[in-house]
A and B are shown apart, each in its own frame.
Chain A
Amino acid sequence: MDDYPSGSLDHSVPFLLTLGTRTGSAYDAGLSAALKEQAVLIRSDLPPLDSDQARALLRYVQERDVSQLPCNAKEMAARKYRFRVKAAERSLLLPPRRASLPEGIDAPSPSLPTVLHSPYSPLSPISPLYPDGLVDTQWIRKHQDLVPSVLLCFYNLASDPTLATLCDNQIKTDVNNIRALLSQSGYKTRVAVVLLSDHVSSVSSGEGVQERLETIRRGCGLDSKALFLVPSSDSQEELERVAENMLTTLYTVSVEYYRDLGRHSRKKRGRGSVPQPTVPPTSGTSQTLSLAGWNVRYDFKSAVFAEYRLEMDVALRSYEQACENLLSSELMELIPSWSPRWNEARFLADVIAVRCLRCLLWSGQHSAAARRWQLHRERIADFVDRRGRGTNNYGWEAWEARWAVVMADLIDKADIPDLAPTTLKLFVAPEKSVMGERLQPWEFLHHTGYWHRLAAKHLQARRTLAHVIPVDDRRSPSASPASHVAKSAFAYDTYMCPDPYEEFPLDRPGVNHTQMIADRLMRARSEFLKRCQTRFAAEVTLECARELALAEHWPEIISLLRPVWKGLPFRNEGWIAIAEELNWALRAAAAEVGDAELLLLTSWELLSRDFTRRPDWHYDISKALEGVEPTIKPTVSIRDGQLQAFVSASFHFVKEEGKAGQSVCSQLSIVSSAHPDSAPVVLSSIYLSFNGCLDGIVLRHHADGHATQQCRTKAILSTVTLTTQADADANVEPLESDRASTGVTLIGSADLTLLPGKIMVFNMGIPLREPGETLAESLTLNLDSEAFGLRQSLAFHDATIARLWYISPSVTKHITHPRPLAVRVLPRPPKMEVSCTVWKEQYYTDEPISFRFEVENGEDVKALAKVDVVLFGEKPPSFTLEIPGQELQTSSSVRSEETRLSGAPMGTIESSKSLPVGLLLPPIQHSSRYDLTLKVTYFLPTNPGTPISQTAVFQVNVVNPFEANYDLLPRVHRNPWPSLFDPEGIAPPNTADNDSIPLPPRGISQAWTLITRYASFASEALRVTDVDITIQPHPTTFRCTSTKRTGLPASGAGRLVNPKTIQEAAFDLAAQKLTVDDRSHAPLDVSLLIKWTRVDDANDPTAVNTTTLPIPRFTLFGTEPRVLASVSHHHHRGTTTTTTTGVVTTPSPLISLTITIENASNHFLTFGLAMEPSEQFAFSGPKQTSLNLLPVSRRSVEYRLLPLDAPTADEEDEDGDGEEEAPGGWWIWPGLVVRDKYFQKVLRVIPASEGVRGAKEGFEVWVPRWMVFGSVGVEEEGEGGEE
């Protein structure tokens, strides 16, 4: 916009001029010299005001100037008035209303009066437009700067009554004077008066002041709207209020003024005739302005006046009309392009278009504005193509650029809220009226950055076109032949731009295109940056840098590009071409400036094969600093990811885990993806950094030519032996010296020549020292030459690392474990052995258990050890630990299922020695299962801080060695029962009881036999030394004695009981109630005791264990009558017979069956006994009898049975009793029935001795074979005798 003459494009704002205050400098409206002579001077005779009040008012009014404010409807809506304010002190010059007749020109004809016109009109010879121009900037400036719409005169209203009248009269005179001068000048400028009261008007004087004002107003002939009083007040608010009021009022006056002017021009247009110039043209074509031209002029004028009035719609219509007419075939088509009027017309078209655009932007028609902008460009291009010098020259591109800048400035001025940087919007949505239409993308009004960039693009085109101007045209006209000048004069479009010999002169710098382009681009860049368009800004920056490179502004390039190159993610995101462009641009600049670090960085990055190869580049990092001589040796350090590095590295451990003290294989591979023909990079050292027990590995370069030999394959493998730093030379690597390291650094050496496109693979065995995780973190490549130092870091990531393991240069395998970068170092394995010397599969209840453990130190050095013992199971017993040289220690119960002994000291165990440890468990009652854990924790003097532990777990099975079942069989007690009726019997002396209890029992007695069968459930043979019973608890109501028949050898050596064999033991029990009165049931609780030893327990044969087996409770006694059957086989008598007769064996075949009936009740009972005759035996005894039993008494009936014959097998079957025939005899069934006479109830006969057993009905009696068939003769004899 600055290219256009000042004022031509400005927004027209009503012009207010103040008069009568001191401003310090004389007012100069900038009237041209030609017009100054004829100018009308308007002056005030009164001295200018210099009071504070006047200055404050003036300042306030000046501050309300809107000519620099944003120009849009929204801004205006907030204001009541708009003024462009200027201040004159005492006088002002107005341009002459009528131009005077130029000297030397006489009136064409004396008869006709000379018609004088405005000096700005093409009618006046004094005007540059004379005779056929249209409108120029002068006219616009006339209304904008020279002729005010309102002249605001400041006067002091004296409060001193003595001076009041005089003062008022002076004001009246002065105002009248000014009005007279103005009306003389012909301008309709409105005069307004502001009176500044210098005194606080009291209430009494209020009326007086009002009267004075009225007088002045009338005296001056002023409108009531044109006189203002500013009361003398200190308050700024008051002043502002009055000023606001005044300006609002004046604004309507001012708008009225411009309306009058507008009406005037419309009236002139309506005349429809061409006015005659003052003097007919005599020079040039003698052509005067056509009617169409006049119409354009009038339309333009009324449009401008409408703009003053802010009637933007009206203005737009008029401007469009003017523009249409101007570009119509009647006007511009007719102007020859060689004529200066051609360019003037183009200029006017531009001005009108700009003003149109402003009107559109004012009303928020943004897309329409963009479209209008394009339309104008296309129309002008069309015109220039057809009528002018074409669009393919620098002049046209200059105009294009200017046209874009104008739009950018207009958008800036319009201050569109939707495009404010804070909204982050790039363009505004189209207004509603065009919404559904097909819109060019450019018609979405973009922010100014885009427009500036467009301008820059056209400027570039302009430069390109300027650079193809032939040499002849570039010569200055003075140095060229005249003919050539004449020829080239019309070849170039020089509208608002210099001639070719100025644009691109031959011998000196001409137009600084680069600067212009760079300025535009920088403005665009700042706009883009404001809206977070960093990438777009980078693009613009790159363009800008290219421009600056042409101008060789190298430092600027670096300061521009470096942040982009460093900060923007082009290379990380893979926009390689962009990164490459940046790199080359920066490299070129750095080479010029001598920025060695930047040179190194860019050269390093450009080695990557990702970038396209430039044939003219050496690709040798060692030559990177050629041509630069830095004062100090440059050193650069490159982070991972900072550059597009041509090297990448990966590292793998071959295994996931290793053990401390061992070493693990690992492989480091460094891949070079440099350009194939680039020079090899010789690294001075590489540093592999770890996290964990290892600090790092340093590999130093050691040229051995090994690499070059193998270089036919892609990968170059080498094995590196590593030594710790202490072993290596004392030359401390600078890298780790500054690291506060506690770990170990390993050092090796290898050939570190990195050939382009090759892979260096190093196999390394890394010794592992401490348990934990060791993780490879990063790799640093150091390149240290005499000229420079470079350090490139490469970080390892599990996710991105290449999982290839090079077995040989051409063979790889994939590493499968998930984290090849890490190795888990397990603790050093313990070498302490815990073993049990004698371990039995089973241990038995009721046996004290002892274990013997051996703790053997397998370490190379002695160890200080402790032991933790845990017994885990259900209710584990507490145990005792026995360690030689230490006190006995007893465990404590931690929980119900665990007993523990922690940290029992074991003292020092020498290397390869063992320590016996004993563990004693008390006898355990119940069969159970425990886990016994021994954990030996020890420290080696070589590494006192690290505990090493060895754990051994044993399972202890404790089982019951025996199980038993029991039968309690009733027997007939031999002793008589006490008699209830015999006081003697109840008397203490009772020989039957040989007990020494103080109160001997006198109650009824019963006898029983307890038969126990016990079986060994042990896994091995056990020696049973004794079997016994205990009666527990001791009965209180009766006394019980027992006699055992164990069947064990009497020697006490016991019997060996094999597993799963059944042994029997019988116990005779005799029980007697303490008193005869007590005849109730009594429980009997008995336990079986088995005393046994282990057979193999050689070391302690006397250790007898007692296993107690509880026997289910028996019930003795009772009041029910019992019928007991017992037999005796009379062999005693038989033996006697034998003795007397002298025969060796003469058994008596008689069996005596005794039926004993016990009546323990208090009743007198009568029983009937009936013995049925049988074929099996003969008997003697009552066949049928009655027994009467007194209360608490018993009686016996004896039968003698003679078995008749052994039954045959058939008979046995007929009996159907199912018994298998025992070889030693047979059973006979006496049909004996015992019946309770009173209840008529058959009582069960209970077998009560050996040889009697219960049967389905009644009982059976055993006939031993020996008794019947002792010898045939005797038998027969006996049989016969019995008969």
Chain B
Amino acid sequence: MATAIPSIACIGVIGRNNNPLHTSIFPSYDPSTTSYHPVRTPLQFSLILSSTLDVFELRSRQNAAAGVGLTGDFGLLHAVDDRLAAYGFETNTGTRFVVVVDMRGRRMDGAVAAGLADGRDSKRLAGAAAGLREGEMRPVFKAMQMAYIRLMQNPFFDPDEHSPPAGHGGRKITSRKFAEEMRRIGENWMPGVTNL
């Protein structure tokens, strides 16, 4: 068990109208079969992502009352169970990024260990296995925001189509480049990564 380290299980982008814009699901390591496959079905991930909306609402209410939370980083939204935890970020325009982390999603094999231990001591490895520090997800959100900004810069991308200012719902993001970027972020992140 100590050989498992956290990995991203799912990345979700949720629009201003609480509408799902994008979902990427990543496989997790299953020690019983020593293979990688997603820990939940797409429907379950969909439910997990949608349930984070509750937390966003609660948290923004609390933030508004306390006058904090200007950075948009909501940190840990909640731990869905003892394995999965959802982290959130909200942009100025109300688009929300949710990252579901599987705390035992990746096996600490040689390659990963080598990647982690480049020049650093093994203490960090042990720490990585133990848990996540506050702000550990910040690089992920930063990278996601960069990708989202790049998407918005596309003149053919009409944000209002995806989150109509008045009304509800909206279309999903179909940009292949954006999906590719999300995939890259989800696959490359591991605890302690500071730049994606």
Interface residues of A (CB under 8 A from B): 374, 378, 424-427, 436-444, 446, 450, 453-454, 457, 531-536, 538-539, 542, 569-570, 572-575, 577-578, 581, 641, 797, 799-800
Contacting pair B20 A442 (CB below 8 A): no
Contacts of B83 in A (CB 8 A): 442
Instruction: Please give the distance in Å from A1218's CB to the nearest CB on chain B.
Output: 82
**Complex Cα–Cα for A569 and B53 (A):** 11
Q: Which of B18, B79, B164 is within 8 Å of A442, CB to CB?
A: B79
- Determine which residue in A437, A438, A570, A578 has the highest number of CB atoms from chain B within 10 A of its CB, and name it: A438
**Complex Cα–Cα for A443 and B61 (A):** 24
Q: Does B166 contact A (CB under 8 A)?
A: yes
Contacts of A374 in B (CB 8 A): 82
Contacts of B50 in A (CB 8 A): 535, 539, 570, 573, 575, 578
Contacting pair A457 B131 (CB below 8 A): no
Contacting pair B46 A426 (CB below 8 A): no
Contacts of A536 in B (CB 8 A): 51, 54
Q: Which residue of A lies closest to B85 (CB)?
A: A441
Contacting pair A575 B103 (CB below 8 A): no
Contacts of B55 in A (CB 8 A): 426, 533
Q: Which of A378, A444, A574 is within 8 Å of B20, CB to CB?
A: A574
Q: A573-B169, A574-B170 are in contact. Are A542 and B127 (CB under 8 A)?
A: no
Contacting pair A441 B101 (CB below 8 A): yes
Contacting pair B103 A441 (CB below 8 A): yes
Contacting pair A441 B79 (CB below 8 A): yes
Interface string of B130-151 (1 = CB under 8 A from A): 1111000000000000000000
Contacting pair B103 A574 (CB below 8 A): no
**Complex Cα–Cα for A799 and B169 (A):** 14
Interface residues of B (CB under 8 A from A): 1, 17-20, 42-43, 46-48, 50-51, 53-55, 57-58, 61-62, 76-83, 85, 101, 103, 127-128, 130-133, 164, 166-170, 172, 191
Contacting pair A438 B131 (CB below 8 A): yes
Can you list 30 A-B contacts (CB < 8 A)? A424-B58, A425-B62, A426-B55, A426-B77, A437-B130, A438-B127, A438-B128, A438-B131, A438-B133, A440-B131, A441-B76, A442-B79, A442-B82, A443-B131, A444-B79, A446-B78, A454-B82, A457-B81, A533-B51, A539-B48, A539-B50, A573-B168, A574-B19, A574-B169, A575-B20, A575-B46, A641-B168, A799-B166, A799-B167, A800-B164
Contacting pair A442 B81 (CB below 8 A): yes
New A-B pairs, 15, CB < 8 Å, besides A450-B80, A574-B20, A574-B172: A424-B58, A427-B76, A436-B133, A438-B127, A441-B79, A441-B131, A444-B79, A454-B81, A454-B82, A533-B51, A533-B55, A535-B53, A535-B54, A538-B51, A573-B17
Instruction: Please give the distance in Å from B57's CB to the nearest CB on chain A.
Output: 7
Contacts of A538 in B (CB 8 A): 51
Contacts of B127 in A (CB 8 A): 438
What are the 8 A-B residue pairs with the smallest beta carbon separation, nearest first?
A441-B85, A441-B79, A536-B51, A574-B19, A438-B131, A533-B54, A440-B131, A573-B18
Q: Which of A446, A534, A574, A581 is within 8 Å of B54, CB to CB?
A: A534
Contacts of B170 in A (CB 8 A): 574
**Complex Cα–Cα for A522 and B109 (A):** 41
**Complex Cα–Cα for A454 and B87 (A):** 19
**Complex Cα–Cα for A538 and B43 (A):** 13
**Complex Cα–Cα for A425 and B82 (A):** 18
Contacting pair B54 A439 (CB below 8 A): no
Contacts of A446 in B (CB 8 A): 78-79
Instruction: Please give the distance in Å from A453's CB to the nearest CB on chain B.
Output: 7
**Complex Cα–Cα for A575 and B20 (A):** 7
**Complex Cα–Cα for A256 and B53 (A):** 54
**Complex Cα–Cα for A50 and B131 (A):** 63
Q: Which of B51, B82, B85 is within 8 Å of A535, CB to CB?
A: B51
Contacts of A575 in B (CB 8 A): 19-20, 46, 50
Contacts of A454 in B (CB 8 A): 81-82
**Complex Cα–Cα for A447 and B133 (A):** 21
Contacting pair B168 A450 (CB below 8 A): no
Main DSSP-derived SS at the B contact region: mixed
**Complex Cα–Cα for A453 and B48 (A):** 13
Contacting pair A531 B103 (CB below 8 A): no
**Complex Cα–Cα for A441 and B81 (A):** 9
- Determine which residue in A531, A534, A569 has the highest number of CB atoms from chain B within 10 A of its CB, and name it: A569
Q: Which residue of A lies closest to B170 (CB)?
A: A574
Contacts of B131 in A (CB 8 A): 437-441, 443
Contacting pair A438 B132 (CB below 8 A): yes
Contacts of A535 in B (CB 8 A): 47, 50-51, 53-54
Contacting pair B82 A424 (CB below 8 A): no
Q: A378-B1, A533-B51, A578-B43 are in contact. Are A450 and B132 (CB under 8 A)?
A: no
Contacting pair A532 B58 (CB below 8 A): yes
Contacting pair A444 B17 (CB below 8 A): no
Contacts of B172 in A (CB 8 A): 574
Q: Which residue of B lies closest to A573 (CB)?
A: B18
- Determine which residue in B50, B61, B101 has the highest number of CB atoms from chain A within 10 A of its CB, and name it: B50
**Complex Cα–Cα for A1027 and B181 (A):** 102
Contacting pair A569 B79 (CB below 8 A): no
Q: A532-B58, A575-B46 are in contact. Are A799 and B20 (CB under 8 A)?
A: no
**Complex Cα–Cα for A327 and B159 (A):** 59
Q: Which residue of B lies closest to A400 (CB)?
A: B82
Contacts of A424 in B (CB 8 A): 58, 61-62
Contacts of A569 in B (CB 8 A): 18, 168
Contacting pair A450 B76 (CB below 8 A): no
- Determine which residue in A374, A539, A542 has the highest number of CB atoms from chain B within 10 A of its CB, and name it: A539
Instruction: Please give the distance in Å from A277's CB to the nearest CB on chain B.
Output: 41
Contacting pair A531 B58 (CB below 8 A): yes
Contacting pair A427 B54 (CB below 8 A): no
Instruction: Please give the distance in Å from A710's CB to the nearest CB on chain B.
Output: 30
Contacts of A534 in B (CB 8 A): 54
**Complex Cα–Cα for A575 and B51 (A):** 11
Q: A539-B51, A573-B18 are in contact. Are A427 and B58 (CB under 8 A)?
A: no
Contacts of B101 in A (CB 8 A): 441
- Determine which residue in A378, A426, A534 has the highest number of CB atoms from chain B within 10 A of its CB, and name it: A426
Contacts of B54 in A (CB 8 A): 532-536
Q: Which of A437, A450, A581 is within 8 Å of B81, CB to CB?
A: A450
Q: A426-B78, A542-B47 are in contact. Are A572 and B85 (CB under 8 A)?
A: no
Q: Which residue of B lies closest to A644 (CB)?
A: B169
Contacts of B167 in A (CB 8 A): 797, 799-800
Instruction: Please give the distance in Å from A1185's CB to the nearest CB on chain B.
Output: 110
Instruction: Please give the distance in Å from A35's CB to the nearest CB on chain B.
Output: 43
**Complex Cα–Cα for A1227 and B168 (A):** 105
- Determine which residue in A533, A542, A574, A797 has the highest number of CB atoms from chain B within 10 A of its CB, and name it: A574
Q: Which of A437, A441, A531, A577 is within 8 Å of B43, CB to CB?
A: A577
Q: Which residue of A lies closest to B87 (CB)?
A: A441
Q: Which residue of A lies closest to B1 (CB)?
A: A378
**Complex Cα–Cα for A795 and B54 (A):** 29
**Complex Cα–Cα for A82 and B170 (A):** 60
**Complex Cα–Cα for A336 and B152 (A):** 65
Q: Which residue of B lies closest to A531 (CB)?
A: B58
Contacts of A570 in B (CB 8 A): 50
Instruction: Please give the distance in Å from A148's CB to the nearest CB on chain B.
Output: 42
Q: A424-B62, A532-B58, A800-B164 are in contact. Are A441 and B132 (CB under 8 A)?
A: yes
Q: A442-B81, A454-B81, A572-B169 are in contact. Are A539 and B47 (CB under 8 A)?
A: yes
**Complex Cα–Cα for A425 and B76 (A):** 12
Q: Which residue of A lies closest to B48 (CB)?
A: A539
Contacting pair B51 A439 (CB below 8 A): no
Instruction: Please give the distance in Å from A1058's CB to the nearest CB on chain B.
Output: 73
**Complex Cα–Cα for A572 and B80 (A):** 24
Contacting pair A440 B103 (CB below 8 A): yes
**Complex Cα–Cα for A539 and B51 (A):** 8
Instruction: Please give the distance in Å from A925's CB to the nearest CB on chain B.
Output: 64
**Complex Cα–Cα for A799 and B170 (A):** 13
Contacting pair A450 B78 (CB below 8 A): yes
Q: Which residue of A lies closest to B192 (CB)?
A: A438
Instruction: Please give the distance in Å from B74's CB to the nearest CB on chain A.
Output: 12
